Structure formats: C-alpha cells, structure tokens
Amino acid sequence: MQTEEFISIETFCAHHGVEFSFINTLEEFGLLELPTINQTKCIPSVQLAHLEKIVRLHFDLDINMEGIEAIVHLLNRIENLQAEITALKNQLRLYEDI
C-alpha cells in the first residue's frame, strides 16, 4: 500500500467550520471512508477535494444527505462514462489509421 497523507477530522472541521457529526453522517451514508490512525479518524488527502465538494453542496446549496448521495452517484457515473468514451475514441483512432 502506498503511503498517503492524512488530515485529521478535527483539523478539517476547524478549517471549514463544520461539525464532527456532519463528517460522521457522511461516513454512515458511505460517501466517505475515514481510516483511524493513532485513535484519530482521518481524511486521506486524495479524498479532500471530494469532501470539500460535498461540504459546499450541503452548506452553500442546502442539499440534504439523500440529495448529496444521488448527486455523487450521478457524478461518478458521468466520470465512468467519460472514461469509457475516451477509451472508445482511442480504439476508433486505431481503426481510422489503418
């Protein structure tokens, strides 16, 4: 496993002004995976942008957890479809060059 950088939940919550309960709710909904390091729940740095997006959706746009869950699911599907389109375009280019 690669070495990752982690940010403690306390640091994130203090910086963004969110409650610990909000982060725990995200974990309960399966929107976040929070490993425990030295008895402190932490956020992997690779998930930081994802978490900040969720915080903005909830607090700036007042979207509830169910709505956030649906939005995240749809964004993941779009990302997967875009990757599939890119792969198919690359395959098509191979046949066009023949």
Work out the mean pLDDT of the chain and round it to a whole number. Answer: 91
Residue 79, both tokens: 């990302």
Q: Quote the pTM value.
A: 0.78
The CATH number that applies at residue 51 is 1.10.1660.10
Domain assignment present for residue 24? The answer is yes
Domain assignment present for residue 62? The answer is yes
Domain assignment present for residue 1? The answer is no
E-state strands within the chain: 6-8, 36-37, 40-44
Domain assignment present for residue 75? The answer is yes
Check if the beta carbon of residue 6 is closer than 8 Å to that of residue 42: yes
Indicate if the alpha-carbon torsion angle 73, 78, 81, 83 is positive or negative: negative
Q: How many domains does the chain have?
A: 1
Structural domain that includes position 27 = 6-96
Q: Could you give the CA distance from residue 81 to residue 76 in angstroms, rounded to a whole number?
A: 9
pLDDT value of residue 70:
96
Domain assignment present for residue 54? The answer is yes
Given a cut of 90, whether residue 82 has pLDDT beyond it is: yes
Domain assignment present for residue 51? The answer is yes
Given a cut of 60, whether residue 15 has pLDDT beyond it is: yes
